[in-house]
Chain A
């Protein structure tokens, strides 16, 4: 286990490419896990260089569209971290984001994006170790998911006027159950 407060502890050389892990964006509530000592200056986590944390005022602030935005722009996984359920600093922001993520998962499933790539975790201010190990588990799970993040792009729909011009062109085969 790497030290969380790694003052001078040599970074265990876990083979540089493997150490980077999956590229993950995490939204971290200001009142949940304290990020002191967890993140570098550029927002990536000290122990998990592939994970970038974005601080937000409450987990309920996260717009589900931003999670989808991250997946569509190169992230392999996204998660939101809030206070423990029932103990949100803002009363029930974490319950709300939990519900919204459930909705988003179903929506992404219909769009053939693996809903496992979205996560919601809840850790209180002093639970740094548990938070890091949960994020590590999430990163490993995401790295093990099959296939690319996004389904293969469908060909753009032909403009209406141009439809009869190229009748012979076969439409791209529907992606078979990625």
Chain B
């Protein structure tokens, strides 16, 4: 059933591509650049966040006032704050697009699970950073979020109280709260770059940026939103007047809305199950190529006698699965006599696509399932029929 659903979702994804493709040529289809757009938004967030950091004061008395000062008195403060706010929404939107697109087009198959796992980490951390950002403003919404989060955390069996104290520095509102949340906002943002490194290690020449047109469009759209819908705080938090409700940002705060209908423990369990399932997705359909109706190609093999150490395959492998190592001895063919390097395929990274075979003009690479002689035989029989 899962397989059929996945097939239908793939069809829907492709149909969406076709519709978008009518407007934009393939090279500029924004759906092909969701990863690059996410990186663009992350960069905007970091730059605008550094600006905000200079003005923010993490204490109960001054946090709200400092944000108001930033918004009203600091030149362009309102705009920078709006950029930070709306770029965060854009960040989550394109991450989710990236996530669903790569899920439905099954780009986690064959040794491509590590980008998927690191991507799940990026998604979880991005959500967490968003929530801490809403707490930093310290308006009534922030106060409600702290109460709800603390309540939900303390419902976790065994580690509940410890978890709450670790997040907020103790029960209730302590002086530690805002400095700690500030760290939990900035620290995981640094961790995002660690996960991005993991996300990129197995990818050669990743599409880190969208085409310039889309960079400009995203920037312009954020600026437009900032001007049309200025970002405001809710009334300041005060212990005397506990909040009764707050405006929900659906992209980040929908779990808190769900607390209206779900008990906290169920919500926490649901979150754990969702993340665990996300991590399990690449292993859910352990289909071999044969089961997919595709001939098994096998890990690319280097014919050491022919390898000249020219590095063409190294530069073309999309998954960084080929490394060049010093060659202790020359190859056998004439072209391979003077080699200093030779190619080695890292089996754990090889996706068996054969792009290295197409790159090699010296016939030093072969896919065991698609030998050159077999291809040539097929070509010959096609030409002679």
Which A positions have Cβ atoms within 8 angstroms of B?
A: 23, 25, 30, 42-44, 52, 54-58, 60-66, 69-70, 73-75, 84-87, 89-93, 96-97, 100, 122, 124-127
Query: Chain B contacts of A60 at CB under 8 A?
Result: 316, 353-355, 358-359
B357 pairs with A61, CB closer than 8 A = yes
Give Cα A74 to B383, complex, Å.
Answer: 5
Give min CB distance, B207 to chain A, whole Å: 8
A61 pairs with B379, CB closer than 8 A = no
Stretch at the interface among B7-15, B140-148, B165-173, B213-221: B7-15
Interface string of B364-385 (1 = CB under 8 A from A): 0001011010011011101111
A71, closest chain B residue (CB) = B383
Give min CB distance, A118 to chain B, whole Å: 14
A61 pairs with B370, CB closer than 8 A = yes
* The 7 A-B residue pairs with the shortest CB-CB distance in the complex, in nearest-first order: A61-B354, A52-B382, A74-B383, A60-B355, A91-B318, A58-B353, A86-B32
Between-chain CB contacts (< 8 Å), 18 pairs: A23-B382, A54-B375, A55-B294, A56-B375, A58-B354, A60-B355, A61-B355, A63-B357, A63-B358, A63-B360, A63-B372, A69-B379, A73-B379, A84-B26, A90-B318, A90-B353, A100-B358, A127-B18
List 11 additional contacts besides A66-B376, A87-B32; criterion CB under 8 Å: A25-B382, A57-B367, A57-B369, A60-B355, A63-B357, A63-B358, A75-B382, A84-B17, A89-B107, A90-B353, A124-B18
* B230 on the A face (CB < 8 A): no
Give Cα A55 to B367, complex, Å.
Answer: 14
> Interface centre among A42, A85, A124, by most B CB within 10 Å?
A124
Query: Chain A contacts of B291 at CB under 8 A?
Result: none
Give min CB distance, B321 to chain A, whole Å: 11
A126 pairs with B205, CB closer than 8 A = no
Q: Name A85's contact: one of B27, B382, B383 (CB within 8 Å).
A: B27
* B235 on the A face (CB < 8 A): no
Q: Name A43's contact: one of B33, B367, B382 (CB within 8 Å).
A: B382
> Interface centre among A25, A61, A84, by most B CB within 10 Å?
A61
The interface size bin for chain B is: 35 or more
> Interface centre among B33, B369, B372, B382, by most A CB within 10 Å?
B382
Query: Chain B contacts of A58 at CB under 8 A?
Result: 353-355
* B352 on the A face (CB < 8 A): yes
> Interface centre among B33, B358, B378, by most A CB within 10 Å?
B358
Give Cα A57 to B18, complex, Å.
Answer: 23
B384, closest chain A residue (CB) = A74
A66 pairs with B379, CB closer than 8 A = yes
* A96-B359 contact in complex given A42-B385, A91-B203, C-beta closer than 8 Å: yes
Give Cα A91 to B318, complex, Å.
Answer: 6
Interface string of B291-327 (1 = CB under 8 A from A): 0001101000000000000000000101100000000
Query: Chain A contacts of B369 at CB under 8 A?
Result: 57
Q: Name A54's contact: one of B316, B378, B385 (CB within 8 Å).
A: B378
Give Cα A42 to B381, complex, Å.
Answer: 10
Give min CB distance, B370 to chain A, whole Å: 7
Give Cα A78 to B369, complex, Å.
Answer: 22
Give min CB distance, A72 to chain B, whole Å: 9
B353 pairs with A84, CB closer than 8 A = no
Interface string of B101-115 (1 = CB under 8 A from A): 000010100000000
Give min CB distance, B319 to chain A, whole Å: 8
B380 pairs with A84, CB closer than 8 A = no
Give Cα A54 to B381, complex, Å.
Answer: 11
B294 pairs with A25, CB closer than 8 A = no
A86 pairs with B27, CB closer than 8 A = yes
* B278 on the A face (CB < 8 A): no
A88, closest chain B residue (CB) = B318
The B326-366 residues at the A interface (CB cut-off 8 A) are: 351-355, 357-361
A57 pairs with B370, CB closer than 8 A = yes
B26 pairs with A87, CB closer than 8 A = yes
* B49 on the A face (CB < 8 A): no
Query: Chain A contacts of B161 at CB under 8 A?
Result: none
Give Cα A128 to B70, complex, Å.
Answer: 57
Query: Chain A contacts of B354 at CB under 8 A?
Result: 56-58, 60-61
A97, closest chain B residue (CB) = B358
Query: Chain A contacts of B382 at CB under 8 A?
Result: 23, 25, 43-44, 52, 54, 70, 75
Query: Chain A contacts of B203 at CB under 8 A?
Result: 91
Give Cα A52 to B156, complex, Å.
Answer: 62
* B233 on the A face (CB < 8 A): no
B205 pairs with A92, CB closer than 8 A = yes
B383 pairs with A75, CB closer than 8 A = yes
* B68 on the A face (CB < 8 A): no
Q: Name B11's contact: one of A57, A70, A126 (CB within 8 Å).
A: A126
Query: Chain A contacts of B383 at CB under 8 A?
Result: 23, 25, 70, 73-75
